[in-house]
Structure 1
Amino acid sequence: MTKQEAMDIVSQFPNSDPDAAFSTGVRLLKADFPELLLPIAQKLSKNFANDPRMHQLLGLAARACGDSDIALSAFRDACRISPSNALMAHSYARAALEAGNPAISLFERASQLAPQDGTVLQGLASALFHEGRSSEAIALLERITDANPLWSEGQRDLAHLRGQMGLPPLHRLAQKSTELRQSRELTRLFITLSLEARDLELASATVAEAAANFGEEDWLVILSGHIQSELGWIAEADANFSKRNLATNIEDASLYARHLIRASRPREAASLLEPLVGMDRDHMLWPYLSLAWRLLNDERWQWLEGDPRLIGTYNIAKKFGDMNGLAKRLRELHVSKAEPLDQSVRGGTQTDGNLLLRTEPVFRRLRRALMAAVDEHVRQLPAFQANHPTLLKNREPRRISGSWSVRLSQTGHHVDHVHSQGWLSSAFYVALPPKSTTADQHDGWLTLGECRELAPSLAPYKLVEPKVGQLVLFPSTMWHGTRPFPSGERMSVAFDVARPRQSKAG
């Protein structure tokens, strides 16, 4: 559905027929036009105040737009009218969790209505964790995965939660040897979690055992090559990657490109990626193509990332206000004991959930200030460039797809990484350690355009000194990380702006 088609539907919306209105609203939601639906859904919820579907529709539209206040109120009304509807109960619980409200009892109610719904149980575990009951969250997931070892989503959540609380993340799953030998999905999850935990030897051993169980299947060959490359075994990785055609699968091609760049063969990486990048809807390949072009001194790198307007710094401390109050509240939300498995944080913790969906006044003010800076940044971006991952034709709506806080302590840092599925990424500095007179002048700084693991010869093309109250915005496909710092606390908020829908021409 194009935007014009969606607007045509809006202009002829069946406002007087609740059945038709609900089905038409669901069509708009599935086509990802919640902003067009939201004002209509608000009117429907008033005109058909006793129809729970209208409140559910309003809640879904508001949630998709990132408005937690409206979503929470709408789902609450839907549950009041239809207290036995499991979907509505789950929606209400999820909205409460995202808004930062107590949600344990709401998930327990949803679980009573839908006892076999794994997503409800995952939500209950998350609510327990958010409300300071992490041991109960872990125990809940352990009980369920013991009873149903093949529940991969629960196994993943359990490993992540154990890791965040400083427990061996893979301990429970490693005990399921029978299931691992029989289930490809569970085996693949175990390998992925081993990589996230940076246990390359365990990942390698698991791949070898899986090959003995399942045979030399494509996914195992590719994973074997990837792990060997990460271990620095270049010849062995070459042998595995050469067994498969890597020019048809985007994810496989990204792993091979990563290997080729590490192996100092950027020309091969560029030749692999250039025909595929236009088909890469998740933008996994652009970061590797950027490294390859820079290593080759290819002028196309300037087209991709060289324009200085792609990176912006904005001081929003005055517009936001109480930075100390924000820092205090963020510290209270850092309940983990260790960094998350699947993120770039080293030597620190990261908050769980979408931080800027919280409804507390401090986060509402922060969201407004941050998004005002995003609007300013987007206005000054260069004009539309066909096929460019950042210089899009359509630059609205601007939604936050994820947001979190990171708290680093001495020697803490971010490894170089990308957020390729986003459009714009960010760093907003809330608290910083005092400057050390003996430290390197760039300790703790944000690096842009550097990937020390794969291309150590490339220096960052921009270093940004962190300052309290400063927001840095940059393309999500751009490599970024932070340098370690010797002591103290470094706390930031980060978020991604979702890539807006594009027409075929954009």
Structure 2
Amino acid sequence: MTVNQSPQELAARAQRAMQEGRYDDAHADLAKLRILAPQDGTIRLMTAYAHRAQGQIDKAKENFEAAIRLQPREISFRGVYADWLSTLGEHEKAIVHFDAILAEQPDHLNAKIDRLLSLARTPGRPAALQELALLADAHPHEFRIANNLALFLREDDRISEAVELSKRVLSRDPVNRRAKHILARSMYESGNPSSKPLEIALAADPDNLELKATLAQAAVEDGRSEDGIAILEDALDKAPDWLEGYGILADMKRQTTGAKGFATRYETALSQRPDWHALRSAYAALASRVEGHERALEILGQGGEDADQDSFIQLAKANSLSELKRFDEAEALFAKLDFESSPEFAKAYLRFLTRTQRFDEVIRIGNGILALDPAGEGTINGDVWPYIAIAMRKLDDPRWAWLEGDRRFIQTHDISSEMPDIEELADTLRKLHVFREQPIAQSVRGGTQTGNILFRNASAPIQTLVNALRNCVREYIDQLPEPDPNHPLLGRPRENFRFSGSWSIRLTEGGFHANHIHTHGDISSAFYVALPQSVQSNVADVDQSGWLMLGEPASELETGLEPIRAIRPEVGRLVLFPSTMWHGTRPFEGGERLTCAFDVRMNSF
């Protein structure tokens, strides 16, 4: 005999099922509840929670919105939904719900804070930061406001303000763990002594791996590379599942001590856990850059039979086979992969199609992949458009002129008059080049690269440079052709911009940049601080030694395409160009080629 259960019993049973991960059972009871109490928004809210836990975003949104329609003045419903929308990156939609909460309760402090945190991820960021500063002053013991404001200031390279704000929080709350973290990272990034703040932050948060990696890097930059390596070794002893840590340690060893033995930690871990496929594919990718693709295939082949069922192992094998021109074997593996599910898959497959000169397919499949991110907010743009550009040029497609041909896409600026102490800048940068070798995963060949975020360094010469560069970037953006929503650069909003990465490169005799692209910016750059005589002399006009080559694809792709423009470096010259454009440099004889480089993201918050 069936016993009818009360709505309260059904709700309790549904709640238990959700807690235990039995979502089908939960949905069955929630469906009954919706029939019994169709006007109860709480039931819709529970249904939204269940769909959210299952990753069913559209169904979760539908039920959150139904709950709010049923009980529009229930601010807790709106608050939960708005917070979740913010985590999805849908900040404008979140703001609508925060505004509705504040219409009901104008003094609701958490809604005010969360609204401003969402607003700071939109073009309204400048106003949001101003309001957060006022709110932090009005509520000096609501440390969430000041801590979030400090994080935003760090992101905007306003590092000294972030430091002062974190110190202010700690003066009122000396045990505030988040403020300690922000202060330590800010002190490190600003170029100030940071070992002690980092140690203090770690004492408060001893399992924080980001802090340990930063402390290791700070030790290297203080000239204590052995200490830095020891810190990472100890971190991996205590957290052997820290996948990223293996790569950080290998790169640090390679850059400080040379190539020998840089990957021993990978090998030890894989000998103990041969079925850790994510670590194996990461090791193979690293080894392919240092020791070649034959070595990468050897590493991948040691993973056992079940490794062949792992999509990232398959991808790594397919990529190495393609680079070794074993195209039939590579194609068989690519055929098993869903290249639309990951930018890494897409990039590898388009590279394979380019190497096999199937340019019509590059354009067709590339456009299909671009449709997965129509707003261009992720890295898909940077992974796909460079290969489409190659295909268009090889096919004499007239659309290439639209994509890369406009002269305004490549601009040079002479800012030497704004940098009267450029030698002081050069000396400052040289002190930051503490490594002996080039980084593993970058384009540098025969030189070194700084490891920190350069433009957050508080030294006067660097900040003078940053101010001059901001003006040039603004001018570059303002001179671009008319907006075009289908274009990777012209489709980006133009109101605001920020530096999404910044670093310095020091090349010595024979050094160069392999041709490459940047996936985390809209605009990329080169600024020349010091140059060898061989680059500045007249003979360079003939052999173009040390010159910047724009539009020339990676040599291993064997496209036969020449640069669309070659630019002679000059001290004080800035070059700006689209991040999706292939670029590299020619080797040079003797001396030092010292540059700064950065990427710009337009309206990226």
TM class, shorter-chain normalised?
over 0.9
With over 3 angstroms needed to count, the CA separation of the structure-2 counterparts of 1:24 and 1:271, relative to structure 1, is: closer
Match of 1:240 among 333, 348, 356: 333
Contact 1:150 1:186 in 2 (8 A): no
Equivalent position amino acid for 2:585 in 1: T
Question: Per-residue displacement from partner, 1:41-96 (whole Å, max 9, x unpaired)?
Answer: 22223223344333213212212322112111111111222221222211111111
Equivalent position amino acid for 2:293 in 1: L
Match of 1:482 among 585, 592, 597: 585
Q: Secondary structure at the match of 2:543?
A: coil
Match of 2:484 among 381, 385, 401: 385
With over 3 angstroms needed to count, the CA separation of the structure-2 counterparts of 1:302 and 1:78, relative to structure 1, is: same
Q: Alpha carbon RMSD of aligned pairs, Å? A: 2.5
Contact 1:15 1:44 in 2 (8 A): no
Match of 2:442 among 320, 334, 343: 343
Q: Superposition pairs for residues 53-132 of structure 1, below 5 Å? A: 53-132=144-223
Aligned residues with identical type, % of pairs: 34
Which residue is 2:394 aligned to? 295
Match of 1:473 among 554, 563, 576: 576
The structure with the greater share of residues assigned to helix is 2
Contact 1:7 1:36 in 2 (8 A): no
Q: Secondary structure at the match of 2:549?
A: strand
Counterpart Cα distance in 1 of 2:492 and 2:279: 41
- Shift of residue 276, structure 1, vs aligned partner: 1.9
Counterpart Cα distance in 1 of 2:124 and 2:294: 46
Question: Per-residue displacement from partner, 1:222-263 (whole Å, max 9, x unpaired)?
Answer: 221100111222232223223334355442122111112112
Counterpart Cα distance in 1 of 2:464 and 2:538: 35
Counterpart Cα distance in 1 of 2:306 and 2:177: 40
Q: Secondary structure at the match of 2:587?
A: coil
Question: Per-residue displacement from partner, 1:280-314 (whole Å, max 9, x unpaired)?
Answer: 43111001111111111111111110101011000
Contact 2:530 2:593 in 1 (8 A): yes
With over 3 angstroms needed to count, the CA separation of the structure-2 counterparts of 1:196 and 1:71, relative to structure 1, is: farther
Equivalent position amino acid for 1:115 in 2: P
Q: Secondary structure at the match of 2:594?
A: strand
Match of 1:372 among 471, 475, 479: 471
With over 3 angstroms needed to count, the CA separation of the structure-2 counterparts of 1:123 and 1:245, relative to structure 1, is: closer
- Shift of residue 211, structure 1, vs aligned partner: 4.7
- Shift of residue 16, structure 1, vs aligned partner: 6.3
Which residue is 1:46 aligned to? 137
Counterpart Cα distance in 2 of 1:250 and 1:353: 26
Contact 2:370 2:384 in 1 (8 A): yes
With over 3 angstroms needed to count, the CA separation of the structure-2 counterparts of 1:206 and 1:51, relative to structure 1, is: same
Which residue is 1:334 aligned to? 433
Which residue is 1:269 aligned to? 362
Which residue is 1:156 aligned to? 247
- Shift of residue 348, structure 1, vs aligned partner: 0.2
Q: Superposition pairs for residues 197-216 of structure 1, below 5 Å? A: 197-216=290-309
Counterpart Cα distance in 2 of 1:375 and 1:28: 22
Contact 2:117 2:128 in 1 (8 A): no
- Shift of residue 323, structure 1, vs aligned partner: 0.9
Which residue is 2:522 aligned to? 423
Which residue is 2:564 aligned to? 461
Counterpart Cα distance in 2 of 1:481 and 1:188: 27
With over 3 angstroms needed to count, the CA separation of the structure-2 counterparts of 1:316 and 1:3, relative to structure 1, is: farther
Contact 1:409 1:490 in 2 (8 A): yes
Contact 2:158 2:456 in 1 (8 A): yes
Query: Which deviates further from its counterpart, 274-283 or 251-260?
Result: 274-283
Q: Does 1:492 align with 2:585?
A: no
Contact 1:35 1:65 in 2 (8 A): no
Question: Per-residue displacement from partner, 1:148-198 (whole Å, max 9, x unpaired)?
Answer: 332212212111111111333212222223344031222222122223435
Which residue is 1:258 aligned to? 351
RCO higher in structure (CA 8 A, sep ≥6) = 1
Equivalent position amino acid for 2:319 in 1: H
Counterpart Cα distance in 2 of 1:459 and 1:118: 44
Q: Secondary structure at the match of 1:450?
A: coil
Counterpart Cα distance in 1 of 2:97 and 2:332: 55
Question: Per-residue displacement from partner, 1:392-445 (whole Å, max 9, x unpaired)?
Answer: 352132100110000000110000100122110000000000035766531110
Identify unmatched segments of 5+ residues in structure 1: none
Counterpart Cα distance in 2 of 1:17 and 1:420: 40
Bigger CA radius of gyration: 2
Counterpart Cα distance in 2 of 1:147 and 1:61: 31
With over 3 angstroms needed to count, the CA separation of the structure-2 counterparts of 1:330 and 1:262, relative to structure 1, is: same
- Shift of residue 10, structure 1, vs aligned partner: 8.9
Which residue is 1:363 aligned to? 462
With over 3 angstroms needed to count, the CA separation of the structure-2 counterparts of 1:51 and 1:403, relative to structure 1, is: same
Q: Secondary structure at the match of 1:416?
A: coil
With over 3 angstroms needed to count, the CA separation of the structure-2 counterparts of 1:148 and 1:394, relative to structure 1, is: closer
- Shift of residue 207, structure 1, vs aligned partner: 1.4
Count of residues paired in the alignment = 502
Counterpart Cα distance in 2 of 1:412 and 1:486: 8
Q: Does 1:222 align with 2:325?
A: no
Match of 1:145 among 199, 222, 236: 236
